[in-house]
Structure 1
Amino acid sequence: MRPLRSQELVESIIALIDREGLGAGDPLPPEHKLMTEFDAARNSVREAVRTLQALGIVDIRHGHGTFVGTASMTALIPSLLFRTRARSREDLSGLHDLMEVRQILETDLTQRVAAHPPAHLLDALQECVERMRVPGTAPAADREFHQLIGAAAGNDLALELIRLFWEVYQQAESLVGPTLSTSDTLVAKHQRIVDAIRGGERTAITEAVRHHFDEIRERIEAREGRPVSGPAGP
């Protein structure tokens, strides 16, 4: 049998996890069994397991073994951050793309939530808005606001993506300098989203979420030396 190439071995171990029905926290077969199962050298197995660890698919606990991981999206932060920064060195296209994808995702999730808002969601969102008025609490309240909407939409993958985009954006925002928003404008942007959810009108929701991203869009265009385009379409 031809020795498996590294990527083939990674895919084979993933297939084994799926075939055996292993879930997060379950132990992976020991190294020698993986070597036998795939007719692979020890170094090849170790390299594949390290790759899976970097992806969050397995968790190596030294002295205890290797276990199936949660495959958290946070494992993608370094590569997405590198891609965003690399593409943004000349024209900020990477940061613009990140912002645009996040806007598309949050617009759809907010519209879904507004169709059947869970009990107490509007109260929780309003509480976040009020906390944004308090110095020092705005960043945490802002983050919680968007995660509440993502969680209410009932899509775990989308919620993880919101968290991922937030982390990457926070680390890449320095490319366009500090925010120009005041606490009053931050509050107003989020209050507009709350009011749009309460009203349940899709166009109003689209405009409210778009307005939320206008400031970073304008900062990107100003940094690139282009005339600010003004409100963008949905």
Structure 2
Amino acid sequence: METEPKPAGARLLGGASRAARTRLSASDELTQDLIDALKRQGFGPGDRLPSVTALATQFAVAAPTIREALRRLQALGFLDFRHGSGVYVREPLERVIVSNPYSGQLDPDVLLDLIDARLLIEPHLACLAVVRGGAEAVAELERILDLADQSLQGQDETLSDLNLDFHRAIARLSGNKVLGQTMDSLLDLYAAEQMMILQVYDNRERDAREHRAVLTAIRGGRPDLAAEQMREHLTGVRTVVEERLRAH
């Protein structure tokens, strides 16, 4: 029976996928098979995986081999090993962009480059959050900022985490998975430096006001204003960081 020929693009994509697959080592292939199986079975953040023994049986490999595959996924940030409890999913397994967990302390120039990357991405994400978000999106952002307001006089680490949660939420609510994951990876790299910025900025109230201004624009359905408020906020952050770096 004749079959309808596939479009050229489909043939190219299929061929590239098979070719890439043949270049995988046995360990790489097992890791890929494992993550594919977990996705098919609907595992998500917070879910506990079957035991190492059960997974080894499922994939017909030795326990140390499956443990190596799990460790690879842990290194990429997808899994958490909890002593005495098991292995849990940490990040959505569909995520295609991940940060380097071993990047260490960032070079000053790289730190400024990261902020510049945020300046290119985040205003657009704020704009998309207006267009694609709804009442639930606004409620989530409001909840995060309410918690941040309650932490203005608290520990730096708590407030820093909430500030980053606000930016992560906007990225997620934009509806663009690739840009959202890109932002998430940038913020993962940036988390330690955010603590320094919070201390150098030394104006928690101003930071809170600028976040509220972004939220007000999103709530008001004004995408251009949301983008502009985000741009002004990040420009201020960059100025503070650059001044700190020059002083050293």
| TM range, smaller chain | 0.5 to 0.7
SS of structure 1 residue aligned to 2:199 = coil
Q: What CA RMSD, in Å, does the superposition of the two structures yield over aligned residues?
A: 4.4
Match of 2:170 among 100, 124, 149: 149
Question: What's the CA shift string for 1:78-134, capped at 9, x where partnerless?
Answer: x34x43624x1xxx1322233233344432221122235522727963993792795
Could you say which residue in structure 1 is the equivalent of 2:218? Answer: 197
Could you say which residue in structure 2 is the equivalent of 1:222? Answer: 243
Distance 1:123 1:50 in 2: 33
Distance 1:49 1:126 in 2: 35
| 2:132–2:173 CA contact under 8 A, matched in 1 | no
SS of structure 1 residue aligned to 2:233 = helix
Gaps of 5+ in 1: 227-234
| 2:119–2:235 CA contact under 8 A, matched in 1 | no
Structure 2 counterparts to residues 1-234 of structure 1, below 5 A = 4-17=25-38, 21-24=40-43, 25=47, 27=50, 29-35=54-60, 43-57=64-78, 69-72=89-92, 79-80=100-101, 82-83=102-103, 85-86=105-106, 88=107, 92-115=108-131, 117-119=133-135, 121=138, 125=142, 128=145, 131=149, 134-136=152-154, 139=159, 142-154=163-175, 165-173=186-194, 178-198=199-219, 200-225=221-246
Distance 2:231 2:63 in 1: 52
Percent identity, aligned pairs only, is: 23
Distance 1:192 1:147 in 2: 17
Instruction: Provide closer, same or farther for how the CA distance between residues 132 and 169 of structure 1 changes in structure 2, counting only shifts above 3 A.
Output: farther
Shift in Å, 1:171: 0.9
Shift in Å, 1:150: 4.0
Distance 2:211 2:115 in 1: 17
SS of structure 1 residue aligned to 2:200 = coil
**Higher mean C-alpha displacement, 146-155 vs 108-117:** 146-155
Distance 1:95 1:22 in 2: 39
Distance 1:203 1:60 in 2: 43
Instruction: Provide closer, same or farther for how the CA distance between residues 34 and 182 of structure 1 changes in structure 2, counting only shifts above 3 A.
Output: same
SS of structure 2 residue aligned to 1:30 = helix
TM score, norm. by length of structure 2: 0.59
TM score, norm. by length of structure 1: 0.62
Distance 1:133 1:11 in 2: 42
Shift in Å, 1:215: 2.7
Could you say which residue in structure 2 is the equivalent of 1:231? Answer: none
Shift in Å, 1:194: 3.1
Q: How many residues align?
A: 209
| 1:30–1:66 CA contact under 8 A, matched in 2 | no
Distance 2:36 2:202 in 1: 48
| 1:9–1:48 CA contact under 8 A, matched in 2 | yes
SS of structure 2 residue aligned to 1:192 = helix
Shift in Å, 1:56: 4.8
